[in-house]
Chains A and B, each alone.
Chain A
Amino acid sequence: SYELTQPPSVSVSPGQTARITCSGDALPKKYAYWYQQKSGQAPVLVIYEDSKRPSGIPERFSGSSSGTMATLTISGAQVEDEADYYCYSTDSSGNHRGVFGGGTKLTVL
């Protein structure tokens, strides 16, 4: 079955740039999406269609995709950005089955 691979953890100091990667064989043909999940809460979409930001999401969140890797970048990470981040996409078989990456714990301290 199709898989998306993320690093388990990323750590930065406040104000630094955090980059979280997501690799998957179908990413050249499929969009990547990024969700933020804080402890005990439902996920929140922070990036859709590789690089678009939903309304209400701070400008410091950006996304990009090249080849088999998508990247979520948080420029000037804040303490409140500490959370788990998940990439999401669909497999390449055309049947729209979703898949999440394993998640990356972002620590900002």
Chain B
Amino acid sequence: EVQLVESGGGLVKPGGSLRLSCAASGFTFSSYSMNWVRQAPGKGLEWVSSISSSSSYIYYADSVKGRFTISRDNAKNSLYLQMNSLRAEDTAVYYCARDATGSSGYPYYWGQGTLVTVSS
């Protein structure tokens, strides 16, 4: 069974940093592209970033480019999101999501999310 478990969320002050992690199990992690998707309270889904299986291809939404860094450790079956220069508008539940097949380009399996709150 595919499992994705996010961690690392919490309360951080504007301008601060946070690192999210996603622990994957139940599949061959190194064979799949992965994504981060966020959802602000009461708002819609927003695609944040994606990374290919070997980290060769990395993409970011304009809203986070230059501030967030996606990475993965295939040996540890883990996905990460380093978030710097955080703003109030980054407050959201952050979901880790696996592509449907290798590099299908769309999320299929989702974690339950971790809440990031940016507030002074």
Contact = CB atoms under 8 A, between A and B. Distances in A.
Contacts of A99: 47
B106 A48 contact: yes
B32 interface: no
Given A42-B95, A42-B113, A95-B59, A100 B106 contact: no
Contact of A42 (B60, B106, B111): B111
Nearest to B106: A33
Contact of A88 (B61, B62, B106): B106
B23 to A, nearest CB: 16
Interface residue tally on A, bucketed by range: 20 to 34
A78 interface: no
Contacts of B106: 31, 33, 45, 48, 88, 90, 98
Contacts of B62: 1
Contacts of A54: 108
A88 B96 CA distance: 16
B47 A100 contact: yes
A24 B111 CA distance: 28
Interface string B93-118: 00100001000011110111100000
Interface of B: 35, 37, 44-47, 50, 57, 59-62, 95, 100, 105-108, 110-113
Q: Which 5 A-B pairs have the closest CB atoms?
A: A98-B47, A103-B44, A42-B110, A100-B45, A97-B59
Interface of A: 1, 31, 33, 35, 37, 42-45, 48, 54, 84, 86, 88, 90, 95-103
